[in-house]
Amino acid sequence: MRNKLWIAALLAIAPAAFAQSVAGLWDATLTLNDVQIPFRIEFAGEGSSVKGWFFNGDEKVVSTAGKLENGALVLNFEQYATKLEATLKDGQLEGQYSPVSKKVAVFHATRAVATPAADAQAPAINGDWEIGVKSPKGELAWRLIVRQSGPEVSAAILRVDGDTGSLTGRYRDGKFVLSHFSAARPGLMELKPASDGTLDVTLTNFKETTQYKATRPAEARAKGLPEPTDPSQHTRVKDPSEPLRFNFPDLNGRLVSNTDARFQGKVVIVNVTGSWCPNCHDEAPFLAALYRKYRDEGLEIVALSFEEADQLKDPTRVRAFIKQYGIEYTVLLGGEPAEVRDKLPQTVNLNTWPATFFVGRDGRVRAVHAGYAGAASGDAHRQLKEEITALVEKLLAENQTSSR
């Protein structure tokens, strides 16, 4: 009799316990300024060990802490200084994600279900395209990189700062509809093939909706349209024969300068970055791995992190950024983003996040690269990593007795 009562009690508790679980894949939306961005999010764990993650293509952006208590879900993404708060009720999650553009976005999610069948006869749009623009950074064209498998498509726009992250979607009702959210840079994209072989592109974020025209590169050249900006030519220094000077505090308040002994006779990568910048998050794991591989051969990396005023006072997000990517190289607080040109007066056209300066053993700036093409950029990402690695190896191989 006692065993039967015990089993009955377990059965009574089980539905409540199951109802508290959020484990699995969910279809979610964020809404801000009357704009709704759909995306997928996944959860695992229970109680005080819940974690969740957003998707950037195959990459998972995982929470740094989380809990689920009495139907209340809280996930922290400390590397972005953002928080997801939601209440689980009747199989749905309702709440908010903040900050997004310094505001609070409404969050809603239901458990993922099989998506409706896509239109079988999807037109072929796979490959590279170019989008004509007039960017405030001086660009006249962006790259649109599309990967297609039947009606399923992923795409990224590559600009001089870097890419938009991987937007994914499918073909329905005469157009491809793609979306993306990975703890930052929410976006919605529509690609509609036109009868003349171009693509009508509509981009929506929480600030605006903009329409563009995309053209195949060969056709763009035939029409005399401008090419996308070469990121290795976008930013430069006024006098490459002069050392690139910096003198900023580290996270403990100690001043670090380019004249310090630790940098003398070394190859130095000076990285202008910010923990608020999604493309800087893309770049950081690569730089961290590069440093671990080559520091014993004479490579130093210095990140000049330009942050908002609250982070300069208490750099909690910067510390989480360092921890998230296993950064072992020097990180300095350069100032606020708007101050970057004043703080680095030797630079010309420094207006991308990130921007990377390559200094040889002789102290001269040997190359500059604007932005960073992340994994969503496919071949462009792989090619960039190969080029930077080859450049570092070349600089390390130069006369090690050269003096600054």
What is the per-residue pLDDT across 217-228, written as a single tens digit (0 to 9) for each? 999 999 999 999
Query: Which token pair is 54?
Result: 């957003």
The CATH 2.40.128.120 domain(s) of the chain lie at: 2-111
pLDDT at 403: 42
65: Cα separation from own chain's centroid: 20
Please, what is the average pLDDT of the chain?
92
Task: Name the percent of the chain lying above pLDDT 70.
Answer: 93
Taking 90 as the threshold, does the pLDDT of residue 357 lie above it? yes
Q: Does domain 231-397 have CATH number 3.40.30.10?
A: yes
pLDDT tens per residue across span 97-142? 999 888 999 999 999 987 766 566 899 999 999 999 999 999 999 9
The CATH 3.40.30.10 domain(s) of the chain lie at: 231-397
Contact status, residue 353 vs residue 277, Cβ threshold 8 Å: yes
How far is the C-alpha of 377 from the C-alpha of 322, rounded, in Å? 24
Q: What is the mean pLDDT of residues 158-173?
A: 95
Contact status, residue 233 vs residue 221, Cβ threshold 8 Å: no
The CATH 2.40.128.20 domain(s) of the chain lie at: 127-222
Alpha helices by DSSP H, 223-269: 231-234
pLDDT at 358: 97
Q: What is the mean pLDDT of residues 208-214?
A: 96
Q: What is the mean pLDDT of residues 279-306?
A: 97
How far is the C-alpha of 198 from the C-alpha of 193, rounded, in Å? 6
Taking 80 as the threshold, does the pLDDT of residue 294 lie above it? yes
- Note the CATH architecture for domain 127-222: Beta Barrel (2.40)
Q: What is the mean pLDDT of residues 304-331?
A: 96
- For the domain spanning 2-111, the CATH number is 2.40.128.120
pLDDT at 116: 65
Select from 316, 390, 399 the least CA-distant residue to 362.
Answer: 399
Model confidence at 14, pLDDT cuts 50, 70, 90, reads very low
Separation of first and last alpha carbons in the chain: 87
Taking 70 as the threshold, does the pLDDT of residue 6 lie above it? no
What is residue 161's three-state secondary structure?
coil
Largest CA distance in the chain: 90
pLDDT at 400: 61
How far is the C-alpha of 299 from the C-alpha of 309, rounded, in Å? 31
Amino acid at 356: T
Q: What is the mean pLDDT of residues 42-67?
A: 93
